[in-house]
C-alpha cells in the first residue's frame, strides 16, 4: 500500500500482507485475574501494534536492528523518549548491534549474548508475554527488546524485587496487593530457600534447638528411616524436580494421572516403606508449593538452585553454613547489575523513596515519582514532558 | 591450563569439599538420646549417683522411657559411664529439670552447677528441683505411673502449672548461678515429693549460699512471691477450730503490692 | 579513587560502627565487670566521649589534606623513607588485626557451636564471603554493612524482651567502684572504639567529604550507645560477680531466654551475631588489602590475593586457646591506641610542616 499526498514531499509505503498467525490469546505461563487477557504473538508487527494501541503517544520510539548472519531477523528496542535514559538506551543498542550469531530461534540467545554477568544464577533481564506488563515497564523508563518470531519480550534494567511483582498487585486495592506481595515474598524467599536447609541443620547438628513438643514425634518418625537427613531430602527433592520437568512435556490428560501417581508415591507409600519420614514429606511439599508462587520462571529456577546450595551447606556445616551462604548470596546480589544499574536496589544502595513498592505496595497516590532504577530523565509521572 | 590439569584441579577441590565438613560435630537426631530428667544424689560412700531418663522412640519397645543410672565421684565421669550402657549417643542438651536429693542439696550444689554452666550445649534453662527422698527411686517408680505421660514431660508440665499459681518459684540454672554469685540474695528452688502414684509439689526449698537450710509449704510460697514483689495468684485458707457450719474461709489473692524498708 | 572503591560518608559511618562493635562487644561486659564492677557502662560512656573527640580530631587532620589518605600524609610529613617504614608498619598492623579478628571468630565458633571441628576446617567456610567481597572492592563491603545492621536490631529487640528477667538493683548504687577503678577501666572501655582510625585509610574514596565529620562522629555515638546498652543489660541480668567469670557474655545472654515454642533461641542469636562479627573482620581485611595495594603499589592480581588470604588464615590458626586469644586481643588493643595517637601526632605536626596542605585546610 502506498500513500502519496500533494502536501508531503515524500510518499509512505507499508506492508499490507495477510499472514497466517496465531490468535492473540492469554499467555499460558502468565495468567492473572484483573488485567487484560492478551499476550504477545510471534509476529513482530502485531506486537508493535499492540504497544501502539496502548500508548497513544508519539514519544514511543522503536529502534530496529538486524541480527543473525543467516536468519537476518529484526530486533526492535522500544522506549519512551523523554522518560527513558538515553545513555542506557544507546548502550543497549550498541550491545545488541554487536551480537554475532548465525540465528536466534528464541530471544534467549540474544539475552545470553548481551548479559553482563553470564555466570550468575540470577536473571538480569525480565521476560514477559503480556503487553500490560510491558507498558508499565515502559512507563517507568525501562526498555523493551522485541524479536521477530518470539512472543516473549525482554525488559531491562530490572532489580531483584521486580521478579516478585505481578500486574495484579497494582490493579487491586493497596491492602490486597500488599497482602499478596507479603505472602509471595515470605513464601519464595523464606520457605522455599530455608526450610529444607533448616531441617537438615537442626536434625544433623543442633538437636537442642528442636522444640520440646516436636522432639518425640520427630525422633519417632526419623527412627524408622535408615538414611541420614541429607539423603532423605535429596531423594525427595530430586523426585519432585523430575516430576516438575516431566509435567512440562506431558499432554494434560496424562499430566493429571502423573500428579496423582506422584502424590501417592511420594506420599504415603514412601513413608510406609520407611524410605522417608512424614515430616520430610510435609517440608518438601511446602517448599515445592512455595517455589511456585514466584511469578517469573527464571527467578524460580534461581531459587531452586539456591535451595540446593543451601541444603548442601547445611549438611556440611550446620547453621554456620546457612549463614555463610546467605552472606555470600547477598554479597553477590549487591555486586550484580542489570544493564549497569545496581541489582539489589532499593535495599542496598538504599533509596528510601523506592522502598514504597518492594515488600508492601503503598497506595497509588504515593507513587507519583518513577523508581530510580532506570534513571529516568523525567521523575514525575504526569504532564511534564 | 591443559585439560588433564583442569580435571585434576576440579577433583582436588571436590575432595576438599567432602573432607572439609563439619562431620566431627554431627549429631544425627535419631541416634541421640535426650536426657529429659537428671537425678543427682549421694550414696553412703559420698559418691554421686547419677540417674537419667531418656524417652524411647522405637515403637517395638514397650516401655516409653529408658532409665539409666551409675555411680561415680564426679559428674562428668558419671555422664561418660552412662554412655557406656546406652545404645544411643547420650546428650544433655534438652534437659528439662535437674533433681537433687535433699541430702545432696544440704551438702552444697555449687560444684555441680559449675559443670552445667561451662558446657555450651547444656541448657541453662533447666529447672532446679529438690526431691524429698531419692531421685533414682522416683524415676524408677515413675515407670509404674499408668495414667501419666513420660516422667520428663510430667514433671516439667507439673512445675510449669504450679508455677503459674505461684505454688513454687521459677528457678532455672542460670537464676541459681546468678544468685549464688551475687551473695546478697538467697537462692530458692522447687521442692517436691513422690510416691507410687504421683509426684507432688511441696513448695520451696530455701538455700543459704549453696546449701539447703529449710523449706516452705505451698501457701507460704505464695506469700514469699508477694514479698518478692512478683504478681501472685494464690489462695489462703483459714480454718476455724470450732464446729460451726462455716468451716473455713478461702482468701483469694490476685495481686499484692508491698513495700519494704531497711533499717 | 577507583570505581569500585567509592563510598559515601553514610556508608563509612556504618562501616566504622560495625567494625568497632562486631568482635569486641562479645567479651567486653565481662572484662569491664572484672575491673569496674557494675559501673562498666559508665566507663564506656566516658571513653566514648574521648573517642568522639579523637575521631573528630582525625577527620580534621584529614580535611587539611583534601584528598589524601594516611599513607600519603605520613610520606609528606616524615619524608619518603621514614614515611614508607611507618606505612609498612601500619599495613602489618591492619593485617594482624584482620587475622586476630578471624582467630576470635573461629575460637568463638569452637566454644559455642562446633567444639570438635578443627578450626582449619571452619576457616575457609567463614572466609568465603569475605574473600568474595574484598576482591570486589570497598563499595561492595560498605554496602553490605547496612544489611548487617539487621543483627543489631535483633540484639536490641532481644534485650528488650529480657527486661523482665533483669534485676536493676544490680546496677545500683551508681559509681560505687570509685574513681580509681573507673580510670583504670577506661582503657578497656576504649578498646570498644578501636576502628575509628579506619577512616584515615579510606578517606580519598569518600564521595561527599563535607559530611565525613558529621557521620564519623555519629558512628562513634552509636557505638557508645550500643555498647552501653549491652554492658548495662549484661550487668543487670547476671550481676557483676557472675559476669566476671563468664567467657562470652553476649552469647550467654542469648541462652537465658525461654521462648514460647522454640525454647532455645541461642542457636539463632549466635548465628545472627556471627554475621556482624564476620563484617567486622571483613572491614579490617579490606583495610589491610587496600593499604597493601596503596603502600606497595601492587596491581590487582589473583595470585597475590590468594597468598594474602592464605597468610591470613594461616596466621589465625596459631592460637587455638581462648584465653591466649583474649590476651592477644588485649595487645592489639594497645597497638590500636598507639596507631590513633600516631595519627593525632601527624595532625599536630601538620600544623608546622605545611607542604601538601590544601588551601582551605
pLDDT of the residue at B18: 58
SS3 content of chain B, % helix, strand, coil (to 5): 35, 30, 35
pLDDT of the residue at B246: 60
What's the rounded Cα separation, in Å, for the pair B151 and A283? 31
pLDDT in tens, B61-83: 777 788 888 888 887 788 888 88
Q: Compute, in degrees rounded to 10, the torsion defined by CA atoms A177, A181, A182, A188.
A: 160
Average pLDDT value for chain B: 78
pLDDT of the residue at B233: 67
Asked if A204 and B30 come within 8 Å (Cβ–Cβ), the reply is no
A122 pLDDT tier (thresholds 50, 70, 90): very high
Residues of chain B contacting A222 with CB distance shorter than 8 Å? 29-30
Average pLDDT value for chain A: 84
What's the rounded Cα separation, in Å, for the pair B94 and C117? 22
Please count the CA atoms within 13 angstroms of the CA of A145 that sit on its side-chain side: 29
Asked if A209 and C146 come within 8 Å (Cβ–Cβ), the reply is no
What's the rounded Cα separation, in Å, for the pair A256 and C81? 80
Burial environment of residue A260 by CB neighbours within 10 A (0 to 12, 13 to 18, 19 or more): exposed
The distance of A80 to chain B (nearest Cα, Å) reads 48
Q: Which residues pair with B235 in a beta bridge?
A: B252
pLDDT in tens, C86-115: 888 888 888 888 888 888 888 888 888 887
CB proximity list for A209: less than 8 A, separation 6 or greater: A202, C262, C263, C264, C267, C268
Please count the CA atoms within 13 angstroms of the CA of A285 that sit on its side-chain side: 15
Is a pLDDT exceeding 60 seen at residue A73? yes
Which helix or strand (DSSP H or E) is residue A175 part of? helix A174-185
User: What are the per-10-residue average pLDDT scores of chain B (263 residues)?
Assistant: 70 63 70 84 84 82 81 82 81 85 84 76 81 86 82 86 82 84 82 86 84 82 76 66 61 60 48
Interface of C with B in 223-252 (CB under 8 A): 237-242, 245, 252
pLDDT of the residue at C116: 78
Is a pLDDT exceeding 90 seen at residue A316? no
Q: Which triple of cell numbers denotes residue A367?
A: 507513587
Residues of chain A contacting B35 with CB distance shorter than 8 Å? none
pLDDT of the residue at B238: 66
Is a pLDDT exceeding 90 seen at residue A306? yes
What's the rounded Cα separation, in Å, for the pair C169 and C177? 15
Nearest CA in chain A to C8: A349
SS3 A3: strand
What's the rounded Cα separation, in Å, for the pair A107 and A150? 6
CA atoms C2, C8, C12, C14: torsion sign: negative
pLDDT in tens, C224-264: 999 999 999 998 888 888 888 888 888 888 888 888 888 78
Q: Is residue B65 within 8 Å of residue B7, measured between CB atoms?
A: no
Is a pLDDT exceeding 50 seen at residue A100? yes
Instruction: Report how far Cα C246 is from the mean position of its chain's Cα atoms.
Output: 21
Pairs of residues, one from chain A and one from chain B, whose beta carbons lie less than 8 Å apart: 65
pLDDT in tens, B137-165: 888 888 888 788 888 888 888 888 888 87
Q: How many other β-carbons are positioned within 10 Å of the β-carbon of residue A166? A: 20
% pLDDT > 90, chain B: 0
What's the rounded Cα separation, in Å, for the pair A331 and C143? 9
Describe the crossing of helices A107-114 and A86-97 by its angle, rounded to 10 degrees: 110
Asked if C274 and A323 come within 8 Å (Cβ–Cβ), the reply is yes
Is a pLDDT exceeding 80 seen at residue C359? no
Asked if A319 and C267 come within 8 Å (Cβ–Cβ), the reply is yes
Q: Which triple of cell numbers denotes residue B34?
A: 535426650
* Lookup result for grid cell 483459714: B238
Q: Which fold has domain C3-352?
A: Amino acid/polyamine transporter I (1.20.1740)
| C108 reaches B (C-beta below 8 A) | no
Nearest CA in chain C to B19: C121
What's the rounded Cα separation, in Å, for the pair C312 and C318? 11
Write the DSSP assignment of A341-374 as a string of letters: EETTTTTTTT-GGGGGGSSS---GGG--B--GGG
% pLDDT > 70, chain A: 98
Residues of chain B contacting A318 with CB distance shorter than 8 Å? 22, 25
Predicted TM-score of the model (pTM): 0.88
Mutate to test the interface with C, among B16, B19, B20 (most CBs of C within 10 A): B20
- CB-nearest partner of A321 from C125, C140, C268: C125
pLDDT in tens, C249-260: 888 888 888 888
| C271 reaches B (C-beta below 8 A) | no
Number of alpha helices (DSSP H) and beta strands (DSSP E) in chain C: 15, 2
Q: Looking at chain C, which runs of residues are DSSP E strands?
A: 258-259, 263-264
- CB-nearest partner of A216 from B23, B57, B91: B57
What's the rounded Cα separation, in Å, for the pair B200 and B192? 6
- CB-nearest partner of A324 from C126, C133, C144: C126
Reported ipTM: 0.89
Q: Which chains touch C (3 or more CB pairs under 8 A)?
A: A, B
| C255 reaches B (C-beta below 8 A) | yes
Amino acid at each position: 500500500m502506498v500513500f502519496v499526498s500533494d502536501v508531503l514531499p515524500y510518499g509512505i509505503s507499508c506492508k499490507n500482507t495477510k499472514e497466517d498467525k496465531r490468535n492473540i490469546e492469554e499467555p499460558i505461563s502468565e495468567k492473572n485475574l484483573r488485567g487484560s487477557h492478551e499476550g504477545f504473538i510471534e509476529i513482530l508487527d502485531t506486537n508493535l501494534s499492540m504497544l501502539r494501541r496502548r500508548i497513544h503517544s508519539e514519544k514511543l520510539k522503536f529502534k530496529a536492528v538486524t541480527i543473525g548472519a543467516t536468519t537476518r531477523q529484526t530486533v526492535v528496542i522500544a522506549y519512551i523518549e523523554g522518560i527513558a535514559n538515553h545513555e542506557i538506551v544507546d548502550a543497549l543498542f550498541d550491545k545488541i548491534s554487536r551480537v554475532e550469531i548465525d540465528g536466534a530461534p528464541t530471544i534467549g540467545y540474544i539475552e545470553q549474548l548481551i548479559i553482563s554477568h553470564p555466570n550468575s544464577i540470577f536473571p538480569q533481564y525480565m521476560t514477559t508475554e503480556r503487553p500490560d506488563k510491558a507498558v508499565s515497564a515502559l512507563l517507568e523508563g525501562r526498555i523493551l527488546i522485541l524479536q521477530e518470531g518470539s512472543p516473549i519480550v525482554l525488559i531491562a534494567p530490572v532489580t531483584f524485587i521486580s521478579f516478585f511483582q505481578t500486574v495484579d498487585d497494582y490493579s487491586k486495592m493497596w491492602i490486597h496487593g500488599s497482602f499478596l506481595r507479603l505472602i509471595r515474598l515470605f513464601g519464595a524467599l523464606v520457605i522455599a530457600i530455608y526450610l529444607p536447609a533448616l531441617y537438615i541443620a537442626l536434625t544433623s547438628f543442633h538437636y537442642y534447638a528442636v522444640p520440646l513438643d516436636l522432639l518425640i514425634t520427630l525422633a519417632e518418625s526419623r527412627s524408622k528411616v535408615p538414611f541420614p537427613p541429607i539423603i532423605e531430602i535429596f531423594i525427595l527433592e530430586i523426585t519432585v524436580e523430575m516430576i516438575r520437568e516431566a509435567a512440562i512435556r506431558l499432554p494434560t490428560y496424562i499430566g493429571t494421572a502423573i500428579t496423582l501417581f506422584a502424590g501417592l508415591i511420594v506420599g504415603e507409600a514412601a513413608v510406609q516403606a520407611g524410605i522417608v519420614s512424614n515430616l520430610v514429606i510435609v517440608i518438601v511439599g511446602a517448599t515445592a508449593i512455595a517455589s511456585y508462587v514466584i511469578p517469573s520462571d527464571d527467578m524460580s529456577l534461581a531459587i531452586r538452585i539456591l535451595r540446593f546450595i543451601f541444603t548442601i551447606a547445611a549438611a556440611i556445616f550446620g547453621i554456620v553454613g546457612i549463614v555463610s551462604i546467605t552472606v555470600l548470596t547477598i554479597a553477590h546480589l549487591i555486586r550484580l547489575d542489570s544493564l549497569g544499574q545496581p541489582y539489589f536496589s532499593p535495599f542496598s544502595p538504599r533509596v528510601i523513596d523506592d522502598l514504597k513498592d518492594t515488600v508492601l505496595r503503598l497506595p497509588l497516590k504515593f507513587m507519583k515519582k518513577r523508581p530510580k532504577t532506570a534513571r529516568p530523565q523525567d521523575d514525575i509521572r504526569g504532564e511534564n514532558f | 591450563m591443559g585439560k588433564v590439569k583442569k580435571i585434576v584441579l576440579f577433583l582436588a577441590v571436590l575432595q576438599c569439599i567432602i573432607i572439609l565438613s563439619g562431620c566431627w560435630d554431627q549429631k544425627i537426631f535419631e541416634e541421640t538420646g535426650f536426657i529429659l530428667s537428671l537425678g543427682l544424689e549421694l550414696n553412703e560412700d559420698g559418691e554421686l549417683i547419677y540417674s537419667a531418663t531418656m524417652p524411647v522412640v522405637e515403637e517395638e519397645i514397650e516401655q516409653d522411657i529408658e532409665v539409666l543410672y551409675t555411680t561415680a565421684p564426679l559428674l562428668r565421669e558419671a555422664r561418660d559411664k552412662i554412655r557406656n550402657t546406652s545404645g544411643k549417643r547420650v546428650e544433655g542438651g534438652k534437659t528439662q529439670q535437674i533433681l537433687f536429693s535433699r541430702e545432696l542439696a544440704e551438702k552444697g550444689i555449687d560444684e555441680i552447677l559449675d559443670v552445667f554452666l561451662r558446657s555450651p550445649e547444656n541448657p541453662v534453662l533447666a529447672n532446679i528441683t529438690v526431691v524429698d527422698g531419692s531421685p533414682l527411686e522416683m524415676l524408677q517408680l515413675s515407670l509404674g505411673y499408668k495414667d501419666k505421660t513420660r516422667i520428663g514431660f510430667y514433671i516439667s508440665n507439673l512445675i510449669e502449672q504450679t508455677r503459674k499459681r505461684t505454688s513454687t518459684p521459677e528457678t532455672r540454672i542460670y537464676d541459681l548461678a546468678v544468685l549464688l554469685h551475687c551473695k546478697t540474695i538467697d537462692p530458692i528452688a522447687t521442692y517436691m515429693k513422690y510416691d507410687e502414684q504421683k509426684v507432688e509439689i511441696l513448695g520451696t526449698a530455701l538455700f543459704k549460699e549453696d546449701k539447703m537450710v529449710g523449706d516452705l509449704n505451698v501457701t507460704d510460697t505464695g506469700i514469699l512471691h508477694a514479698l518478692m514483689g512478683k504478681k501472685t495468684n494464690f489462695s489462703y485458707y483459714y480454718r476455724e477450730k470450732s464446729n460451726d457450719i462455716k468451716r473455713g474461709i478461702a482468701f483469694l489473692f490476685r495481686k499484692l503490692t508491698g513495700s519494704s524498708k531497711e533499717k | 579513587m577507583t570505581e569500585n572503591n567509592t563510598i559515601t560518608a553514610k556508608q563509612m559511618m556504618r562501616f566504622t560502627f560495625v567494625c568497632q562493635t562486631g568482635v569486641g562487644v562479645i567479651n567486653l561486659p565481662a572484662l569491664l565487670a572484672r575491673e569496674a564492677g557494675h559501673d562498666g557502662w559508665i566507663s564506656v560512656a566516658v571513653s566514648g566521649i574521648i573517642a568522639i573527640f579523637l575521631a573528630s580530631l582525625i577527620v580534621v587532620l584529614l580535611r587539611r589534606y583534601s584528598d589524601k589518605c594516611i599513607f600519603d600524609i605520613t610520606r609528606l610529613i616524615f619524608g619518603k623513607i621514614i614515611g614508607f617504614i611507618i606505612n609498612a608498619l601500619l599495613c602489618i598492623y591492619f593485617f594482624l588485626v584482620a587475622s586476630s579478628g578471624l582467630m576470635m571468630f573461629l575460637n568463638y565458633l569452637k566454644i559455642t557451636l562446633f567444639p570438635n571441628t578443627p578450626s582449619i576446617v571452619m576457616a575457609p567456610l567463614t572466609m568465603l564471603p569475605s574473600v568474595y567481597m574484598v576482591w570486589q572492592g570497598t563499595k561492595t563491603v560498605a554496602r553490605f554493612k547496612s544489611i548487617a545492621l539487621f543483627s543489631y536490631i535483633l540484639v536490641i529487640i532481644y534485650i528488650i524482651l529480657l527486661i523482665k528477667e533483669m534485676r536493676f538493683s544490680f546496677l545500683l548504687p551508681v559509681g560505687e567502684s570509685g574513681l580509681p577503678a573507673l580510670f583504670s577501666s577506661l582503657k578497656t572501655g576504649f578498646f570498644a572504639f578501636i576502628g575509628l582510625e579506619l577512616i584515615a585509610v579510606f578517606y580519598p574514596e569518600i564521595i561527599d567529604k563535607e559530611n565525613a565529620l558529621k557521620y564519623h562522629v555519629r558512628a562513634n555515638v552509636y557505638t557508645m550507645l550500643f555498647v552501653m546498652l549491652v554492658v548495662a543489660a549484661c550487668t543487670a541480668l547476671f550481676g557483676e560477680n557472675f559476669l566476671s567469670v563468664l567467657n562470652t557474655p553476649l552469647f550467654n545472654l542469648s541462652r537465658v531466654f525461654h521462648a514460647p515454642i522454640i525454647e532455645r533461641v541461642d542457636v539463632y542469636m549466635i548465628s545472627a551475631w556471627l554475621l556482624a562479627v564476620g563484617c567486622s573482620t571483613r572491614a579490617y581485611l579490606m583495610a589491610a588489602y587496600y593499604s597493601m595495594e596503596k603502600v606497595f603499589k601492587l596491581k590487582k592480581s589473583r595470585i597475590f590475593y590468594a597468598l594474602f588470604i592464605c597468610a591470613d588464615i594461616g596466621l589465625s590458626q596459631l592460637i587455638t586457646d581462648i584465653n591466649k586469644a583474649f590476651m592477644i586481643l588485649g595487645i592489639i588493643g594497645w597497638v590500636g591506641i598507639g596507631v590513633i595517637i600516631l595519627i593525632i601526632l601527624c595532625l599536630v605536626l601538620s600544623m608546622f610542616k605545611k607542604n601538601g596542605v590544601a588551601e582551605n585546610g
